[in-house]
């Protein structure tokens, strides 16, 4: 029988699908790795499973213990799902801007969710990062700390990178991935560059995040608010290995959301706003490349997580990302 012992057996081995939107017909081939095929619908399943299983194997976690982390939503649902299967308790701390779909999904796995102010600075005790660290210290919870965990990087070195290499038969020339914690990018690119040092790693950062300035100028700046979820940050993380970044492309909220909507309507690939940013960056990367080049982009999660946001015309107009309706059209 072709069956799985439990849902965790379905983590990893996501497919590559051809992307045509924004890619010249006579240019390079472009493919996107659809991480929404993972059990909770995002690439964070890889990291959550690897970190928690490794901790249990080494005796740092046992059934009944509590795991905790801060999250913009995807890590939260992944941690909650893995915890539910392995007999653990989970607490996830997330900012107010996280979509309701994500919050509800985390809770559906039986985890506790703590909501923090969206405008809290990285070192603000009220913010999601500091709240998670404080609770872990006070109560002895296992702190996943995805921003700084090298096991986060290792998860993608062991799975995402090898899958891309094998599925492209080693022909991949460019990897395009969003920067959130940096774990996905760092792990996958490190593996690929070990196989072929000429492979270029292109990082995607939203306008308002501080990663781009840090990578380009090696200095920390002050970020500002942005709407896209899952990529970008206002703190420098240890899971990002800057030496692996060959180029960083900054994408606006407007371009991220509208590209995601366009791909959904023309190619039937419904992914989140961060995937729209990756697709927009892939178009820039493809410009001028030869037909022999092969670009792979990582689509981190599913559009169904954002039905109340970037796939909702009312919300898009309220944010200024779609033209306002006029006259009788408002009826």
Q: Write out the chain's pLDDT in tens, 331 residues.
A: 889 999 999 999 999 999 999 999 999 999 999 999 999 999 999 999 999 999 999 999 999 999 999 998 899 999 999 999 999 999 999 999 888 888 999 999 999 999 999 888 778 899 999 999 999 999 999 999 999 999 999 999 999 999 999 999 999 999 999 999 999 999 999 999 999 999 999 999 999 998 888 888 777 777 788 999 889 987 888 999 999 999 999 999 999 999 999 999 999 999 999 999 999 999 999 998 999 999 999 999 999 989 999 999 999 999 999 998 876 455 4
Tokens of 110: 């039986």
Q: Give residue 223's pLDDT.
A: 79
| CATH 3.40.50.1100 intervals, the chain | 7-40+156-318, 44-143
What's the confidence (pLDDT) of residue 331? 43
Name the β-bridge partners of 175.
201, 296
> Which among 44, 89, 227, 309 is annotated as catalytic?
44
Task: Using the structure block, give the residue that is written with the tokens 């996943």.
Answer: 144
pLDDT of amino acid 327 = 63
| CATH class held by domain 44-143 | alpha beta
Alpha-carbon distance values, 155 to 3, 159, 211, 241, 251 (Å): 24, 6, 22, 14, 26
pLDDT of amino acid 212:
87
**CA 273, CA 258: separation in Å to the nearest integer?**
8
Residue 99 CB partners (closer than 8 Å, separation 6+): 73, 229, 305, 306, 308, 309
Check residue 234 and give its pLDDT. Answer: 79
- Domain spanning 7-40+156-318, CATH class: alpha beta
Residue 100 · residue 308 · CB < 8 Å = yes
Is 44 labeled as catalytic in the residue annotation? yes
Q: What is the pTM of this model?
A: 0.93
**Strands 247-251, 16-18: parallel, antiparallel or unpaired by DSSP?**
unpaired
Q: Rounded distance, CA 249 to CA 280, Å?
A: 9
147 Cβ neighbours under 8 A, 6+ residues apart: 70, 129, 181, 233, 235, 237, 238, 239
In 3D space, the residue among 83, 194, 185, 95 whose CA is nearest the CA of residue 141 turns out to be 83
- Give the residues across from 174 on adjacent strands: 200, 295
Predicted local confidence at residue 225, as pLDDT:
84
Rounded Cα–Cα distance for residues 305 and 76 (Å): 13
């Amino acid at each position: 029988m072709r069956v799985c012992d439990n849902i965790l057996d379905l983590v990893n081995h996501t497919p590559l699908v051809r992307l045509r939107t924004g890619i010249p017909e006579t240019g390079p081939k472009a493919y996107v790795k659809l991480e929404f095929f993972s059990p909770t619908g995002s690439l964070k399943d890889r990291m959550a499973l690897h970190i928690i299983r490794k901790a249990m194997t080494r005796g740092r976690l046992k059934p009944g213990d509590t795991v905790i982390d801060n999250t913009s939503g995807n890590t939260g649902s992944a941690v909650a799902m893995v915890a539910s299967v392995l007999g653990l308790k989970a607490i996830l701390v997330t900012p107010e801007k996280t979509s309701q779909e994500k919050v509800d999904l985390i809770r559906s796995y039986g985890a506790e969710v703590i909501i923090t102010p969206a405008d809290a600075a990285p070192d603000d005790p009220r913010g999601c990062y500091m709240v998670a660290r404080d609770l872990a210290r006070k109560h002895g919870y296992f702190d996943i700390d995805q921003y700084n965990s090298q096991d986060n990087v290792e998860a993608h070195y062991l799975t995402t990178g090898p899958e891309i290499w094998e599925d492209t038969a080693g022909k991949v020339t460019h990897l395009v991935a969003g920067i959130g914690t940096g774990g996905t990018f760092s792990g996958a690119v490190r593996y690929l560059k070990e196989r072929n040092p000429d492979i270029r790693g292109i990082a995607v950062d939203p306008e308002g995040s501080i990663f781009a300035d840090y990578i380009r100028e090696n200095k920390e700046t002050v970020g500002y608010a942005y709407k896209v979820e899952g990529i970008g940050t206002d703190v420098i993380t240890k899971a990002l290995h800057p030496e692996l970044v060959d180029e960083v492309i900054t994408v606006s909220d407007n371009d991220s959301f509208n590209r995601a909507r366009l791909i959904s309507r023309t190619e039937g690939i419904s992914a989140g706003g961060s995937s729209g940013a990756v697709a927009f960056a892939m178009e820039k990367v493809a410009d001028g490349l030869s037909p022999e080049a092969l670009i792979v982009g990582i689509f981190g999660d599913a559009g169904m997580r954002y039905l109340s946001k970037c796939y909702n015309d009312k919300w898009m107009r309220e944010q200024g990302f779609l033209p306002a309706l006029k006259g009788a059209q408002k009826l």
